[in-house]
Structure 1
Amino acid sequence: MSRPLPDLDIADRWRLLLGEAGTGSLGAIGPQAFAMDRALAWLYGRDDGKDGPGGLAPEDRLDRHGGLGPSALSVPDWINEIHTLFPKETIERLERDAIERYGIDEVVTNPEVLARATPNVALLQAVLRTKHLMNPAVLAMARTLVAQVVRELMEKMARRVEQAFSGRRQPQRTSARGSASQFAARETLRRNLRHYDARSGRLVVREPRFRVDSRRVMEPWQLLILVDQSGSMLGSVIHAAVTAACLSGLPGIKTHLIAFDTEVVDLTGQSDDPVDLLMNVQLGGGTLIGKAVGYAADLIEVPRRAIVVVISDFYEGAEEHLLIGHVRALTAQGTTVLGLAALDERADPVYDRELAARLVDAGAHVGAMTPGQLAGWLSEKLG
C-alpha cells in the first residue's frame, strides 16, 4: 500500500474547518495541517461568488479567509502537493474542481500553455499524475515535454554511470607488444640501460615496452530493478526508469526493469525508452512487494551473479513473512538484495524502518541513495 498519511489531531481538524477564525482560540496550526490548508486555499480561496468556472455555486462555497498568508504555489507544485497530502478520493475531487469549476487547465487541457511551461522534474511529475485527464492533443504535447526532461536527466545520469564504471589507466603495467601510440619511453629506457654502448654513445633497445590500458572487464551480471509505482514513489519511478536505461547500455549487464503495485509488470522491453515507459506507468493502488520479489527470483539465471534492487517505501500490503522469506532465500543462494528507500535526487529516507530492519536481518542491504550513488554502489559490486 502507499505510504500512510499522517493523522491530524482534533485541534488541527477544527483549525482547517474554521480557517482564520479558529487561530485565536486554538493556537497555531501544525505543519501538516498548514500544508493542507495552503493547498485548499490555493484552489478554493479564489472563489469570487460566481457560478461555473471561476467560482462555486453558493451552496458549495467554502468560507476560507486565507489567514496563513498568500501562497506561491504554481499549478505543477499544487498538483504534486495534493498527491502527497490527501487520499485518492480527495485528490480526484480537487482535480475535478480545479478543471471543471475553476477552469485551471494550464497542465491538462491547454497545449499552448503547456508548450510555454519550463520543463523540469516538478512539471514532469505533474504531467505523469494528470495524464489520464488529458485529451489527445495535450497528451502529445505532454509527451514532448516528458522527452525533454528525460533527455536532460539521461545526460546527467549517463555521465555518472560512465564515471562509475570506466576503468583507470595504469601506466606501470606494460607489455612487450603494442602500438606506437602506446610506447612507454621511460619504462623502455629504464629496462634497457644495461645495453648502453659507451663507445658509440648509443642505447640499444632490445626490450621495448608499451603501456597497457587497464579497463575494467565486466563479467556477465544480471541486474533486476523492482520499482514500487504507488503514488508516493513517483520520483523514484522517474529516476529508476532513467537509471535502467543508462545501465541497459553497459556491456556485460542484463538489466530488467519491473514495476509493481498489487500486480507485477515486466517493463524490460521498454527499459531503453524511458519516455514510453513513463507515459504508460499507472500510479497508485496497493503494494505487494513480496509478489514482485518472487517474480524477480524466477528470472535469475546465475544466483551469485545477480543483484535485485527493490525501490520502495516498504509499506507492504500483504503478509510480511512472504517478502522476508523470498529475501532470505535469495541471499542464501548468493544473490545480492539491495533495498532503496528512495531514488530521486534528494533521496529523502521515508520508509517503514521496522520492515527494513527485518529485511537486513534476512541478509539484504537497505539504505537511501541518489541515482549517482546507486551507480557507484553497483560499480563496486559488479567490478
Structure 2
Amino acid sequence: MSEGARRWRLALGRYANQQLGGLGGQDGLMDQTLDYLYGREYQGRGLEQDRGPGSLDPTQMQALNWLGKAKGLFPQSVFETLQGHALDRYGLTDLLKDPKTLDSLEPNQDLLRVLLGFHDRADPAIKAKLREVADRIIRDIMERLRHDVMRAFSGRRNRFRRSNIPSAANFDWRNTLRENLKTYDPETRRIIAQTLRFNSREKRRLPWTVVLCVDQSGSMTDSVIHSAVMAAILCGLPGVTVKMVLFDTSIIDVSDRLTDPLDTLLSVQLGGGTNIGRAVTYCEDFIADPERTVFALITDFAEGASPRALYAALARMSEARVRMIGLVALDEQATPYFDPMIAGRAADIGMQVGAMTPDKFAEWLAEIMT
C-alpha cells in the first residue's frame, strides 16, 4: 500500500477496507484506536458496528485505556486533537471520572474548556483533581500572556527622545534609515547601517478603571478564559482598578475574585441566551471618572433582546467620553464571529471594534490608556 493510500485508509476508517485494504501491525493498532473514537460518527448515522474477525469489538477497549493507547501511538499534536474530540465532540466524560486518568490528560486550553463545563457534574471526590488540572492549565496561559501585557504597559515609545539602550521594541527604523543613507551600496542595493537609533520609553501613569463586560454564552468560551487571565494580570498593575462582569441573560459580577482566574471561571455558567444591553447598563455603575475609564465589551454582538438598550447605554458612555472598545474574538486564533449589523452600529456610536489575539489586545489597551 502506498503512503498516500495508507493515510487515506487511516482517515476513512474500516469502512474503506474493501476499496483500500486492511491494516496490520502498528497501523492496525492506530486504526483500532481511531475507530473507537470516530466510529461513533458512523454509528450516529445508522451504520452498525462490525463484530467480525479483525474488527474492534467495543468491549475490548474502554475510554480509560483508550487514552493510554492513543498517547502511545500518535504524535503529541495528533493526541491533543484526539483528546479534544473525545471530550468535546463525543462526550467521553469517563476520562474525567478517575483521578489517575486525569493525570495522563494533556493540559491545554481545549481540556480546560471541557473541565469548566464538567465541573458542576463531577463527583465531589473528583472536583479537587479537576481544579488541580485546570489550575495548571491557567498558570501556563497566564505565564504566556503576562510577558505580553507587561511589555505593552511598560511604557510607550517617545519618538522625540533618543535612548542609548538598544532594544528591538524601541528600534527607531525611520531615523536609522535617514542617518545611514550615505552608506547605500548600489551594487548590493543595501544600506550598511553604521549608526542605529532607538526611542526612549516613558513610564505610564495609570490612574485608570478597566471594565471588562464578557459574554459567557457557549460560543465565547475561549474569550471568557482569556478575559479572566487578563483581568488577573491587569489587577497587578499599579494604579489600575479592574471590574469584570460575566453575562448571558443574567449577570454575574466577579470583580471581587479577579486575582484567582480559576475562581472567576468557576463562576461561569456557559450557555443560555444573551442580553448585552442589560449587562452594559449594569456596567455603567462602575464608571466614576468617565475620561479615565476603559469599557471593554467582549462578545459576538448577537443580541438576544432588543438592541435599543445596548445602543442607549453606549451612547451615554460615548457622550461621557468613556474609552469604549468591542472585542469580537479573544482566543489565540482570533477567528471572528459576530453580528456585523449590531457591531457596526456600536462602532457608529463611538466604540472601537476589533478582533485580535490576547497579546494584541494588551497592546491595544495600552495604547488607549495614554
Classify the TM-score, shorter chain.
0.5 to 0.7
Report the equivalent of 1:314: 301
Q: Report the residue type matching 1:229 in the other structure.
A: Q
- 1:74 alignment partner, SS class: helix
Note the C-alpha offset of 1:168.
7.0
- 2:232 alignment partner, SS class: helix
Report the equivalent of 2:249: 262
Q: Does 1:143 align with 2:131?
A: yes
Report the equivalent of 1:226: 213
Deviation string 1:342-376 (CA, Å, 9 cap, x unpaired) is 11111101111111111111111111021111110
1:74 corresponds, among 82, 91, 113, to 82
TM-score (norm 2): 0.67
Q: Report the residue type matching 1:286 in the other structure.
A: G
Q: Report the residue type matching 2:144 in the other structure.
A: K
Q: Does 1:334 align with 2:342?
A: no
Q: Report the residue type matching 1:241 in the other structure.
A: A
Q: Does 1:126 align with 2:134?
A: no
Note the C-alpha offset of 1:282.
1.1
Pair 1:287–1:114, CA change in 2 (3 A): same
CA–CA separation in structure 2 for the residues paired with 1:314 and 1:172: 42
CA–CA separation in structure 2 for the residues paired with 1:269 and 1:326: 24
CA–CA separation in structure 1 for the residues paired with 2:39 and 2:245: 33
CA–CA separation in structure 1 for the residues paired with 2:203 and 2:330: 26
For the 8 Å contact 1:247–1:253, the answer to whether it is kept is yes
Higher RCO structure (Cα 8 Å, ≥6 apart): 1
- 2:273 alignment partner, SS class: coil
Deviation string 1:118-163 (CA, Å, 9 cap, x unpaired) is 1111111111122222112222111111111111111111100111
Q: Does 1:285 align with 2:293?
A: no
For the 8 Å contact 2:154–2:204, the answer to whether it is kept is no
1:166 corresponds, among 143, 151, 154, to 154
Report the equivalent of 2:186: none
- 1:307 alignment partner, SS class: strand
1:146-225 equivalence runs, <5 A: 146-167=134-155, 215-225=202-212
Note the C-alpha offset of 1:167.
2.6
Q: Report the residue type matching 1:145 in the other structure.
A: V
TM-score (norm 1): 0.65
Report the equivalent of 1:349: 336
1:238 corresponds, among 212, 225, 230, to 225
Report the equivalent of 2:346: 359
Report the equivalent of 2:97: 109
For the 8 Å contact 1:236–1:342, the answer to whether it is kept is yes
CA–CA separation in structure 2 for the residues paired with 1:110 and 1:253: 42
Deviation string 1:269-320 (CA, Å, 9 cap, x unpaired) is 1111001211231111111111110011111000111111011111101101
Q: Which ranges in structure 1 are unaligned for 5 or more consecutive residues?
A: 1-18, 21-36, 56-70, 83-93, 100-104, 175-212
- 1:280 alignment partner, SS class: coil
Q: Does 1:381 align with 2:340?
A: no
CA–CA separation in structure 1 for the residues paired with 2:42 and 2:116: 21
Deviation string 1:182-241 (CA, Å, 9 cap, x unpaired) is xxxxxxxxxxxxxxxxxxxxxxxxxxxxxxx96413141110001101111100010000
Note the C-alpha offset of 1:77.
2.4
For the 8 Å contact 2:138–2:261, the answer to whether it is kept is yes
Pair 1:43–1:260, CA change in 2 (3 A): farther
Q: Report the residue type matching 2:335 in the other structure.
A: D
For the 8 Å contact 2:327–2:353, the answer to whether it is kept is yes
Structure 1 residue runs of 4 or more that deviate by more than 3 Å after TM superposition = 37-40, 42-49, 168-174
Which of the two has higher C-alpha Rg? 1
Report the equivalent of 1:64: none
For the 8 Å contact 2:327–2:355, the answer to whether it is kept is yes
For the 8 Å contact 1:338–1:364, the answer to whether it is kept is yes
CA–CA separation in structure 1 for the residues paired with 2:41 and 2:130: 27
Q: Which ranges in structure 2 are unaligned for 5 or more consecutive residues?
A: 1-14, 17-36, 52-56, 60-77, 164-199
